[in-house]
Amino acid sequence: MGRYQVILAYDGTLFQGFQVQGKQARTVQGVVESSLRQIGWQGRSLLAAGRTDTGVHATGQVIAFDLEWAHSLDALLRAINANLPPDVAAQEVRPAPADFHPRFYAVSRRYRYHILHRALRAPLQERYAWRLWPALDLGDLQRAASLLHGRHDFAAFGSPPQPGGNTYRTIQQVAWNQEDDSLTCDVQADAFLYHMVRRMVFIQVAVAQGRLEPAEIAQSLQFPAQAAVDRLPGLAPACGLVLVDVAYLPDLSSPRIAWE
Amino acid sequence: MGRYQVILAYDGTLFQGFQVQGKQARTVQGVVESSLRQIGWQGRSLLAAGRTDTGVHATGQVIAFDLEWAHSLDALLRAINANLPPDVAAQEVRPAPADFHPRFYAVSRRYRYHILHRALRAPLQERYAWRLWPALDLGDLQRAASLLHGRHDFAAFGSPPQPGGNTYRTIQQVAWNQEDDSLTCDVQADAFLYHMVRRMVFIQVAVAQGRLEPAEIAQSLQFPAQAAVDRLPGLAPACGLVLVDVAYLPDLSSPRIAWE
C-alpha cells in the first residue's frame, strides 16, 4: 500500500463543485473516487488541496490517496484516466510520503481568472470567461491589485475553513495581463479563504468600473469588521476561474506551516 | 419589409449541425428561426452561407431573412439575441439588398481548424480542438498544404451540393501556424465541398504522421476518380473546426460568379 499524489484537470461547468455532497450531486471528487474504486481503491475519501466551487475549473488541482498498485506509475495514470469522464483527467501521478496531505502540505496556490472584453455574447469564449463591457482599464486594475499584495487580514474577502479560523493570508502575486480582448488575473497566495479569489476579482473590477474607491480596499484590509467593500456584495462568476497550480516542497514533505 | 444580413457565432457542440432536419433535432437554424419568429418573422426558412456539420462551430456564419422592422439595427441585434440560447449569438446586423443570398453572393469563405498537441486529455481545451500525440512537424504540414493551393478538382476531398455538381474549387490559403502546443490551420477558398475542410486537415495530418505520401495528395487532385488518398478514409473531428468568415462585395451585391 502506498500513497500517491495526482494532478487533476477538469472543466467545472457540469460539476456541482469539487467536494462530495451526497448521492445526487455530480462532483469532481465523486467521479474521481468512482474511477479509483474501479482499480481497487478501498479508501473512504480522497484528500484534496482545495475544494473548488461549483463551476470553477482546474488544470492543477492536487489529490492524494492510498492504493495497492503493482504496476508502473504510467500504467496508474492511464488506469485512472480510463475510468474518468471527458471533463476530468489526471495529468500526473507520483508516489508521496505516507503522511502527505495535499492541503496541509501545500506551500502556495495559484489561480487564474479570465475576463473577456466584448459587448456581445461570444459563444465560443464564454464557457471559460466573465464577459464584461465596456472594457476595463488595465492600469486601474493593476493599481487595485497593488493594494492586495502582502500579508493582510482578508476577512472581508472570504470565510475561513472553520468558523472563527485565522483570516490572515499572504498574497504573493496579483498580476493583471491583457492580450487583445482577453484579460487575465493571476493570483498566488500561501492559501485562500473560501470565495476569496472571486471576491478579489469582483472588487478589483468594481474599482475599475468606478463603483468602489481604491481606498475602500485598503480600509477593508485594515478594518475587516467594518469593511467598506461590504457595501458592494458579489463574486466574479465561477466560470472564469481556474485553479492552476498548487506548490509543494520538492520531496512532498511537510513545510511545517502552522495552520489554523 | 426589408432583407437583413446577420453574422452568427455559435458553439456547435450541442447542435446537430446548422440545417433544420425535422422536429426532433436541435439545429442552429432551428433555434435562430424560433428567435426570429418571436420578433415577427413570418418566413418559411432563413438563408445561410454554409451548412456546418454537427459539432462544427462558427464565429462568422452569415444568414439572411426578410423582416418588417421599425426600430434601429442595434435594437434588432438585441432583439434577436434576447431570444437565443447562450450557445448562439448574433454578432452584427446590416440591411441587405432584396436579392441578397448569403451563399450565392459570397466571394470566399474562411475556416480555422484547431489541433492540440498533448499526450493526456486536457478537459479545458478539448471542446474546441483535435488532440493529437505525438506532435506533428509544422514543416511537414506546411509542405502538404502547399500542394492544395490553387484551383483543382477536389472531388477526392468532398462532395458537391448537388450530385454531379462541379467539384472544382480555388484554395486561396492553407496556412498552418503553431504557438506552444496549439496548431491552427486557416483555410480560405471561393467555396468548399461538403466535408472538404475536415478531409483536407485529416489528409495533411496523415502526411505529417507518415501514413500518406505528399505525392498522393498531388495525384488525388490530378486523378480524383482513382485518388490515392481514398485508401485512408476519415475526417478531422468536427469539434476542431470553426467557420470564421464569409466575404462579400462591400455593398453585398452579387459577385456574378457562375455556380453549378
B66 is an active site residue: no
8 A C-beta contact, residue B90 and residue B77:
yes
At residue A260 the predicted structure's pLDDT band, cuts being 50, 70 and 90, is very low
The pLDDT of residue A22 is above 90: no
The pLDDT of residue B192 is above 60: yes
pLDDT of A91-107, one tens digit each? 999 999 999 999 999 99
Do B127 and A127 make contact, defined as CB atoms within 8 angstroms? yes
The residues near A105 (Cβ < 8 Å, ≥ 6 apart) are A248, A249, A252, A253, A254, A255
Write the residue in B87, B124, B128 that is nearest to A9 by C-beta.
B124
The pLDDT of residue A151 is above 90: yes
At residue B259 the predicted structure's pLDDT band, cuts being 50, 70 and 90, is low
At residue B206 the predicted structure's pLDDT band, cuts being 50, 70 and 90, is very high
**pLDDT value at position B219?**
97
**Quick one: closest CA in B to A128, which residue?**
B124
The pLDDT of residue B170 is above 90: yes
The pLDDT of residue A155 is above 70: yes
Do A81 and B124 make contact, defined as CB atoms within 8 angstroms? no
Q: State the average pLDDT over residues A44-50.
A: 96
pLDDT of B216-249, one tens digit each? 999 999 999 999 999 999 999 999 999 999 999 9
8 A C-beta contact, residue A8 and residue A91:
yes
**pLDDT value at position B260?**
46
Residue B133 neighbours by CB distance under 10 Å: 11
At residue B21 the predicted structure's pLDDT band, cuts being 50, 70 and 90, is confident
pLDDT of A195-234, one tens digit each? 999 999 999 999 999 999 999 999 999 999 999 999 999 9
Percent of the residues in chain A that have a pLDDT greater than 90, as a whole number: 95
DSSP-derived 3-state class of residue A242: strand
DSSP-derived 3-state class of residue A204: helix
| Cell reading at A76 | 496508474
Cα gap B222→B168, rounded to integer Å: 11
At residue B258 the predicted structure's pLDDT band, cuts being 50, 70 and 90, is low
Taking the CA of residue A85 and the nearest CA in chain B, the distance in Å comes to: 10
The pLDDT of residue A32 is above 60: yes
Do A57 and B81 make contact, defined as CB atoms within 8 angstroms? no
- In B, what residues contact A, Cβ < 8 A? 9-11, 57, 59, 77, 81, 86-91, 120-124, 126-128, 242
DSSP-derived 3-state class of residue B80: helix
**pLDDT value at position A257?**
65
Exactly one of A11, A53, A66, A251 is catalytic; which is it?
Answer: A53
**pLDDT value at position A68?**
97
**Quick one: closest CA in B to A85, which residue?**
B123
The residues near A258 (Cβ < 8 Å, ≥ 6 apart) are none
Do B120 and A81 make contact, defined as CB atoms within 8 angstroms? yes
**pLDDT value at position B23?**
78
Nearest CA-CA partner of A257 in A149, A109, A61: A109
The pLDDT of residue A259 is above 70: no
Write the residue in A11, A81, A122 that is nearest to B9 by C-beta.
A122
pLDDT of A177-198, one tens digit each? 999 999 999 999 999 999 999 9
Cα gap B111→A32, rounded to integer Å: 37
**pLDDT value at position B45?**
96
Percent of the residues in chain B that have a pLDDT greater than 90, as a whole number: 95
Write out the E strands in A164-235.
Answer: 168-179, 182-189
8 A C-beta contact, residue A92 and residue A77:
yes
Do B89 and A120 make contact, defined as CB atoms within 8 angstroms? yes
**pLDDT value at position B210?**
98
